[in-house]
Structure 1
Amino acid sequence: MDLRIFTEPQQGASYDDHLAMAQRAEQLGFDAFFRSDHYLRMGDGDPSPGPTDSWTTLAGLARETTSIRLGTLVTSATFRFPGVLAVQVAQVDAMSGGRVELGLGTGWFGAEHAALGIPFPDKRFGLLEEQLEILTGLWSTPTGETYSFSGQHYLLTDNPALPKPVQSPFPFIVGGNGPRRTPRVAARFATEYNQSFPDKSAIPAQIGRVRAACEEAGRSPDDLVQSVALVACVGADEAEVARRAAVIGREPAELREKGLAGTPAEVVDGLGALAAAGVTRVYLQCLDMRDLGHLDLIASEVMAKL
């Protein structure tokens, strides 16, 4: 079971907060440090110091870490044109020495699009499909040749298909809990399929749908990593669980039901249940980015016992 740290910086975090958490996660042996791709705080509270751009942040972290993998869960297809995104991601992959992964989704937070003046069409799945096709097409084009694409949403003409990422094939994560279209797209393009904050009882059925989509596409289902993202709230005792839950504005009982919460023993059991359902990678959403002791506890009392 791979354990990855997943953050939501739009809730209020600076680049220095990112750096401290990413470097601590690397020191502790976590598989990866991921962040969301959002520009607006969700819910009430002080948004200071303001949003940070995901790919600008990851570029910095690429140069200030050495081994931990880095990525987005997930970049919104509405935020960037695919030709520009291809340049950004390939450059950050090179800056990291080949440690970057791209999670790509349709986007869902209409308010942040309105706040930043970004178009937010009602139907966005086609944007995601075409972006994945363009990115894979650009990065698989032989050096010295050009790439063109004509679709419903994007038109690229004689793109030099440079720069290339260090990694080939490049790791894509497709996320979402849709029952039909998302599994088919994951089977076609992804190296990993992610369920973000699913009902735990629904996880096995969705994995089954994705595996079936792989078989229909002529692909081995075992080639696709199955992952989930869940809120983490771990405490050495009940008082510490309650304290950490209060800081993020949640209740321990609700977090136990919907996330991975409680004492280390409880969380180890929860991870075991996910493994039994077919999950091989878990993103631990750590909402308090200044609580590095949370990572210390998870590493010593949860990860060490897996």
Structure 2
Amino acid sequence: MDLRIFTEPQQGATYDTLLAVAKATEDLGFDAFFRSDHYLRMGSTDGLPGPTDAWITLAGLARETKRIRLGTLMTAGTFRLPGVLAIQVAQVDQMSGGRVELGLGAGWFEEEHKAYGIPFPKEKIARLEEQLAIVTGLWETEVGETFSYDGTYYQLTDSPALPKPAQSRVPVLIGGHGVSRTPRLAGRYADEFNMPFASVEDSGSQFGRVRAAAEEAGRKGTDLVYSNALVACVGKDDAEVARRAASIGREVEELKANGLAGSPAEVVDRIGRFAEVGSQRIYLQILDLDDLDHLDLISSQVQSQL
């Protein structure tokens, strides 16, 4: 079971804060540092000092880390044209020495689009399918050949399909709760399927749908990695769990029901339940980015038991 650190910088974080978390992620033996791709805070936080751009952040971290994987859960398909995104991700992959992964989703938070003048089209899933075809198609085109695409929403003509990532294939992550289109897209394009903020039972059901979709697309269900994203709130005792829950504005019992909360032993047991339904990787949503002791505890008393 891989453990990855997953951050939500739109809630309020500077690049320096994210760098500190990424370095702790690396030093403490976690597998990867991921971040959301949002431009507007959610909930009661003030969001200060303001948003950071996902791929600019990852470009910086690519040069300041050495081992950990770097990626997004999820890049919003509404934010960037697919040809531009393919260039950005390939460049950051080169800058990292081949450690980047692309989580790509349709985009869903309408308010942030209104706040920053970003179009919010109705046909987001159909656009996402074309984006996946274009981004992967550009990367897969042999050097010296060109890539063209004539879709409903995007057209590319004789693209040189450059630059290429450092990796022979940048892993593509697709996730979500949809029971038909989401598994179909994942079955065709994804290297990893992520089930965000879901129960053990719902995760197992969705993993089954994705495995079936992969087989329908001519792949093996085992070709994909299956993962979960869950909020983390771990403490060495009840008082520490309660303090950490309060710091992120959540209730302990709610976190235990819907996330990974409690003592290290409780969290290890709950991770085991997700593993039983096929989860191979957990993205730990860390909401208090100043609490690096939290990461230390998870590394020493949770990760060490997996």
TM over 0.5: yes
Q: Provide the residue aligned with 1:52 in structure 2.
A: 52
Q: Aligned partners of 1:192 and 1:150: how far apart in 2?
A: 27
Q: Determine if the alignment matches structure 1 residue 253 to structure 2 residue 244.
A: no
> 2:188 corresponds to which residue?
188
Three-state SS of the structure 2 residue aligned to 1:40 is coil
Counterpart of 1:12, as a letter, is: G
SS at match of 2:102: strand
What is the RMSD computed on CA atoms of the aligned residues? 0.7
Q: CA deviation at 1:123?
A: 2.2
Tell me how far 1:148 sits from its aligned partner: 1.0
On the 8 A contact 1:200/1:258 being kept in 2, the answer is no
- TM-score, normalized by length of structure 2? 0.99
* Contact 2:13 2:48 (C-alpha < 8 Å) held by counterparts: yes
Alignment of 1:1-306 (within 5 A): 1-306=1-306
> Match of 2:123, as an amino acid?
K
CA distance in 2, matches of 1:301, 1:57: 29
1:46 is displaced (CA, Å) by 1.6
**Cα distance between partner residues in 2 of 1:216 and 1:45:** 44
For 1:293 and 1:127, locate their aligned partners in 2 and report how far apart those are by CA, in whole Å. Answer: 41
1:151-170 deviations in whole A, cap 9, x for unaligned? 01101111110000011122
User: CA shift at 1:139, angstroms?
Assistant: 0.7
Shift of residue 111 of structure 1? 0.2
Decide which moves more: 271-280 or 212-221: 212-221
Secondary structure class of the residue paired with 1:183: helix
Q: Match for 1:169: what amino acid?
A: R
**CA positional deviation for 1:200:** 2.8
3-state SS, counterpart of residue 73 of structure 2:
strand
User: C-alpha displacement at 1:71, in angstroms?
Assistant: 0.2
> Which region of structure 1 is more displaced relative to structure 2, 163-172 or 255-264?
163-172
Cα deviation, 1:111-162, whole Å, max 9, x if unaligned, reads 0000010011122001110011001111111111111111011011111100
Moved more, 169-178 or 245-254: 169-178
Partners of 1:22 and 1:232 lie apart in 2 by 16
Q: How many pairs does the alignment contain?
A: 306
- For the residue of structure 2 that corresponds to 1:167, the secondary structure is coil
Contact 2:12 2:50 in 1 (8 A): yes
| AA matched with 2:295 | L
Over 6 Å off, 4+ runs: none
Q: Secondary structure at the match of 2:74?
A: strand
| Aligned partners of 1:10 and 1:41 also within 8 Å | yes
Quote how far apart the aligned CAs of 1:45 are: 2.2
The alignment partner of 2:39 has SS state of coil
What is the TM-score of this pair, normalised by structure 1?
A: 0.99
Q: Which runs of 5+ in 2 are unaligned?
A: none
- Identical positions, percent: 66
Query: What is the rounded CA distance, in whole Å, between the counterparts of 1:151 and 1:199 in structure 2?
Result: 37
Q: Distance in 1 between matches of 2:200 and 2:122?
A: 28
- The amino acid of 1:177's aligned partner reads H
Opposite residue 92 of structure 2, the aligned amino acid is V
CA contact (8 A) 1:35 1:54 kept: yes
| Aligned-partner SS, 1:38 | coil
Distance in 1 between residues matched to 2:251 and 2:21, nearest whole Å: 24
Distance in 2 separating the partners of 1:253 and 1:200? 17
Gaps of 5+ in 1: none
Q: Does the 8 Å CA contact 1:77/1:105 hold for their aligned counterparts?
A: yes
